[in-house]
Amino acid sequence: MTDPRDTVLTHALQAEGTFDPGRAPAGIKRIPSGVDGLATEHLVVNIGPQHPSTHGVLRLVAELDGEEVMNVEVAVGYLHRGIEKLGEHRRYHQLGTLMDRGDYVSGIHGELAAALAAEQLLEVEVPPRGQWLRSLMSEVNRIASHLVWFGTFGLDCGAMGQFLYAMREREALLDVLESVTGQRMMFNYVRPGGVLDDITPDAEQKLRTFLRTIDSYLDEHHALLGGNEIFQKRVRGVGVIDRETGLAFGLTGANLRGSGVPYDVRRDKPYAAYTELDFDVPLGATGDAWDRYLVRMEEMRQAARMCRQCIEGLPEGDVMAKVPRVLRPPAGETYACVESPRGELGVHLVADGSDTPYRFHYRAPSLFAMQVLEEILPGHLLADAIMLIGSVDIVLGEIDR
Amino acid sequence: MWGKGILTGMRITMRNMLRGPITVKYPYERLEIPERARWAVVPKYDGEGKPKCTACMACVRACPDHILDLEFTTREDKSKHIERYSYEIGACMMCGLCVEACPFDAIEMSHDYELARLDPAELTYDLLADVDAVPVKRARPAATPKAELARADSSPAELSREEASDE
C-alpha cells in the first residue's frame, strides 16, 4: 500500500513539471541511481564568486542532487578590467604592465608573449644573452607558479601542510625575481627587444642555492602529498579528460599533456633560448587529476634542470637590442605564443603604423581549462568538483582580463 | 601498506617543524631590499641641491597609468618654471617606465615601501613645486680644430694629394 502523502507530492510536482521520473530535466546529463522513486528536487548552488576554493572569483552555478553534481555552469567576468581594450591605448612598451596583471602568478610569460609579438612586427633580433635570460626567468617563474598550484591543489583536497612548504620554496624564487626584475610579482622585465637588465650576482647566488636543494625538496613534497593514500584516493581516476575532449576544448599545457597529447610550445614552436636547452616533455596516460598532478610535478623538475643549463650556458653580450624609444611597427598583424605554466599563452597584435596597437588580443590558456569543467564535473561529488577546479590550475586574472 | 604514506607525511611535517621559521617579525625586523627594487618615485637633485628635472614631459608620456602630471610656465627668456609635478601614488604600479624614459636621470624609484596614508588626499602629492627647471643643454658636436676645418674646405682632389704626400 502506498503512502497517500507520497502520491500527492509526486502528483503536485509532476503538475509543475519539475519532476518526471525516468526523464532527465533539461541539461542534466545523468540520472543518479536510486532516486527515481523519490520525489527529490535538484538544488542549485552558487559556488563563489567570493570563495577561496574557486581560485579567485570564479562562479560556478552547480545543480546538485544530494552530494552529486548534475550540471555545472561556469560564470566569469568578476575580475574584468578590460585589459584588451586598455591595450589599444598603450604603447608597445607599456603592454607588459597589462600582461603582468593578466596571469598574475606568472607575469614573465605574459610579458614575453607581448614582447615577442611586438618584435615580430618590428623584426627585431634579440641578443643571445637576452634570449637566455628570458628562458631563465621564465623557468624560475614557472617553478614559482607551479609551487602555488601545488600548495593550493593540496588545500582543495583537504591537505594543509604542503601549502606552507610550497610557499616557503616559492619565497626563495621571488627573492631571485625581485633581485633581478625589481618586483616580486608585477615584474615588467621583458621588453620588446630584450630584457630590462642583466642578472645580478646576488640573484645568481640565491638561484644556485635554490637549485641545489629543489630536487630533494620536490621529492619531499611529493612524498608528503602524492604519497598520501587519502590524496591518491581523491585524485586517481577522477576528472578524466580524454584526448579528444582535451583537443576539442582547446586545452594546452599540463592539462593537455596529462591526457597524453605531446604538445609543448617550448618544443614545438620554440622561442627565446629553448632550441638550445635540453628538456623532456612529461606526458600523462589517462588524463585524470592524478596524471595532471604528476605532469606538473615533473615539469618543476624539468624547469629546474633548464634553469641550471641557463645559468651555466649564459652567453656574454648585451641583454637588449637597439630599439627606438617609441615603437611604431609597420601595419600588419601577428600572433606570438609562449608556454606559460597554464598552457599556450598567445598575443595577437594588429598594428596600424601608430605607436599603439589597433587590436590587442590575449589567448588565455585558463579560459579553455575553465570551460572543460562544465564537461568533466557532472557525475562527481561536490568535494571532488572543488578538487577538480584546483587540478586544472586556472587563474581568473587571465580568464576575465 | 595502507597508511604508510600518512606516516611518512607526519615524519616530513616533523622534519619541517624542526627546520625553523623563515619569516621575520616585520615592524621590528626588516628584510634587506634589493638594489633594483622599485617603489615610490622620487626626484633626484644635483650636487647643489637643485632638482635635475628639465620639464621635458618624457615621464608624463611614458606613464601607462597617466598619474604623472607636470605643469610648468615658460618665461620670456625661454627658461621653464615647474609649477607642480603631481604624482598620484595611490594609482602608481611602480613599473619604472617613467624612470627609464627620463633622459636627464632626474627621477628614480626609491626603496620607501611604507606608503599607506590615513587621508586619501595625501596619495596625490607634489614631487617638485615652484622650482626652476634646469635648462635643456642640447648636445652639440665638439668644436672642430681649425686644421680640420681647413681640410674640410679644401677640395677632394687637394685632399687626396695631401694624403699622398703624407705617405
- Candidate CATH numbers 3.40.50.2300, 1.10.3720.10, 3.90.700.10, 1.10.645.10; the one for domain A83-400: 1.10.645.10
* Residue A111 Rama label (left phi>0; alpha psi -120 to 50; beta): alpha
Residue B95 and residue A188: Cβ atoms within 8 Å? yes
Q: Summarize pLDDT for B72-127 with one digit per residue, the tens.
A: 888 877 778 888 888 888 888 888 888 888 888 888 888 888 888 898 888 888 88
Length of chain B: 167
Q: Give the mean pLDDT of B132-150.
A: 60
pLDDT score, position B164:
52
pLDDT score, position A6:
44
Radius of gyration of chain B (CA): 29
Length of chain A: 401
Whole-number Å distance between alpha carbons of A242 and A59: 25
Whole-number Å distance between alpha carbons of A330 and A121: 7
pLDDT score, position B116:
86
Kind and range of the H or E element at A229? helix A229-235
What are the domain boundaries of chain A?
Answer: 6-75, 83-400
Comparing A17-26, A111-120, A341-350, B68-77, the range with the smallest average pLDDT is A17-26
Average per-residue pLDDT for chain A: 84
Whole-number Å distance between alpha carbons of A155 and A166: 11
Q: Give the mean pLDDT of B13-40.
A: 87
Point out the residue among A97, A200, A232 whose CB comes nearest to the CB of B93: A97
Show the 3-state SS of B112-161. CCCCCCCCHHHHEEEEEEEEECCCCCCCCCCCCCHHHHHHHHCCHHHHHH
Residue B34 and residue A178: Cβ atoms within 8 Å? yes
Whole-number Å distance between alpha carbons of A290 and A296: 10
Residues of A in contact with B8 (CB under 8 A): 223-224, 227
Chain centroid to Cα A231, Å, comes to 21
Single-letter code of the amino acid located at A377: L
Q: Give the mean pLDDT of B10-19.
A: 87
* Residue A150 Rama label (left phi>0; alpha psi -120 to 50; beta): alpha
Residue A147 has pLDDT above 90, yes or no: yes
Residue A229 and residue B2: Cβ atoms within 8 Å? yes
Question: Which residue spans within A317-375 are E strands per DSSP?
Answer: 332-340, 343-351, 357-363
pLDDT score, position A30:
56
Reported as a pLDDT band with limits 50, 70 and 90, residue A40 is low
B87: β partners: B68, B125
Reported as a pLDDT band with limits 50, 70 and 90, residue A4 is very low
ipTM field: 0.73
pLDDT score, position B167:
45
pLDDT score, position B150:
53
Residue B8 and residue A227: Cβ atoms within 8 Å? yes
In order, the DSSP letters of A237-249 are T-S---HHHHHHT
Reported as a pLDDT band with limits 50, 70 and 90, residue A29 is low
Q: Strand B80-88's sheet: what is its strand order? A: B68-74, B80-88, B124-132
Q: What are phi and psi of B84, to 5 degrees?
A: -155, 130
Residue A38 has pLDDT above 70, yes or no: no
- Within an 8 Å CB–CB cutoff, is residue B37 touching chain A? yes
Residue B8 and residue A223: Cβ atoms within 8 Å? yes
| For B36, nearest residue in chain A (alpha carbons) | A182
| For A94, nearest residue in chain B (alpha carbons) | B64
pLDDT score, position B32:
85
Reported as a pLDDT band with limits 50, 70 and 90, residue A193 is confident
| For B2, nearest residue in chain A (alpha carbons) | A229
Point out the residue among B13, B22, B37 whose CB comes nearest to the CB of A182: B37
Point out the residue among B13, B62, B93 whose CB comes nearest to the CB of A161: B13
pLDDT score, position B49:
79
pLDDT score, position B72:
84
Residue A62 has pLDDT above 60, yes or no: yes
Q: Summarize pLDDT for A108-126 with one digit per residue, the tens.
A: 999 999 999 999 998 888 9
In this prediction the pTM is 0.82
Longest dimension (CA), chain B: 99
Whole-number Å distance between alpha carbons of A20 and A63: 16
Comparing A278-282, A323-327, A328-332, B89-93, the range with the smallest average pLDDT is A323-327
Q: Give the mean pLDDT of B56-69.
A: 87
Residues of B in contact with A203 (CB under 8 A): 34
Comparing A199-208, B28-37, B138-147, the range with the smallest average pLDDT is B138-147
pLDDT score, position A117:
92
Instruction: Please name each of the domains of chain B with its CATH number.
Output: 35-132 (3.30.70.3270)
Q: Give the mean pLDDT of A366-379.
A: 88
Give the CA distances from residue B140 to residues A29, B58, B103, B136, B143, in Å, rounded to whole numbers and listed in that order.
77, 21, 16, 12, 8
Per cent of chain B over pLDDT 70 is: 80
Residues of B in contact with A357 (CB under 8 A): none
B93 to chain A, minimum CA–CA distance in Å?
8
Residue B9 and residue A171: Cβ atoms within 8 Å? no
